[in-house]
Amino acid sequence: MNKMIFLLLKRQSRFPKSIWLILCIFSLGLVNVWQPTQATQVAQRTTSQNAPTELRNLLTQVDTAASKGDVKGVLQFYSPNFTHGDGLNRQTMEKALVTFWQRYPKLQYTTQLQSWKNEGNAIIAETVTNITGLPSGNNNLALNATIRSRQRIMGGKIARQEILSERTLITSGTKPPQVDVKLPQQVKVGQQYNFDAIVQEPLGEDLLLGTALEEPIQVNKYFNPTSIDLQLLNSGGLFKVGRAPSTPGNRWVSAVIMRGSGMTMVTQRLQVVR
């Protein structure tokens, strides 16, 4: 039995990692890059309940268009000069959304406003977006993503967006592994860090294949799939020690774990700061 399961898994051990990387192109949510005092945080939570109607309508309309897979409907709320912290612009974001929604035609976007403030003639809004999708048609993958971001809104359009944290879970099969991931949100340049992806339930006679991957967040990563090789795991998960690069930036850290009855992929964003 173990040999049959291993052969089944081995035949599936290479696949494009870009499935979940494209998830973070479109989002409306993330934590602040500044560190406010506790009193400021309370004030922000209060003011989010009194946000301008125009701001709340904007977020609702973007969610509605995104849930319909309406690319043009989404882009009408983005400035022609839109910029993104990952290097995307309006044109590359459109291309990535089209590709992603062709693969996942039925997604649900839900955005919650966390805080907002006026800054000159702009509004700075912080939000959390949840993206969910169930298997459909020939696509047997289910996904759940939570993305926190900050956007600068001018003239009723989103002019700038920063993604500061994200977590994407993709599963397939009848019984995908339940995985608990432990990864710091932020590390300093050159700092060593631990990345653990632990399978929570007993494995029985199942064999596990898996791998961990860390890579810089760059525009080309949204469009060029990364094939990965899965290796036979000798324990109930992945336990890796990484080292942050010598320059600041954002990284994607991913774990893929597969058993005979399913597969789980988890990706989180890691900030590297000075």
Which of 113, 21, 105 lies closest to 67 in space, CA to CA? 105
Q: What's the pLDDT at 225?
A: 65
pLDDT by residue (tens digit) across 105-145? 889 999 999 999 999 999 999 999 999 998 877 678 898 99
Domain that holds residue 165: 2-273
CA distance 198 to 257: 9
CA distance 163 to 31: 8
Contacts of 258 (CB under 8 A, 6+ apart): 9, 12, 13, 177, 208, 209, 210, 230, 264
Can you name the residues that pair with 141 across neighbouring β-strands? 172
Q: What's the pLDDT at 131?
A: 96
The pTM (predicted TM-score) of the whole model is 0.81
Q: What's the pLDDT at 82?
A: 96
Cβ neighbourhood burial of 257 (10 Å; 0-12, 13-18, 19+): buried
| Structural domain total, the chain | 1
What is the distance between the terminal CA atoms of the chain, rounded to a whole angstrom? Answer: 50
Q: Where are the beta strands (DSSP E) in the chain?
A: 14-16, 78-84, 108-119, 122-133, 141-154, 157-173, 179-182, 186-188, 192-199, 209-216, 227-229, 231-232, 237-243, 249-259, 262-273
CATH number of the domain residue 108 falls in: 3.10.450.50
Q: What's the pLDDT at 201?
A: 84
Q: What's the pLDDT at 234?
A: 80
Alpha helices, DSSP H only, in 13-143? 18-21, 38-47, 53-67, 71-75, 90-103
Cβ neighbourhood burial of 32 (10 Å; 0-12, 13-18, 19+): middle
> Which positions of the chain have pLDDT values less than 50?
1-46
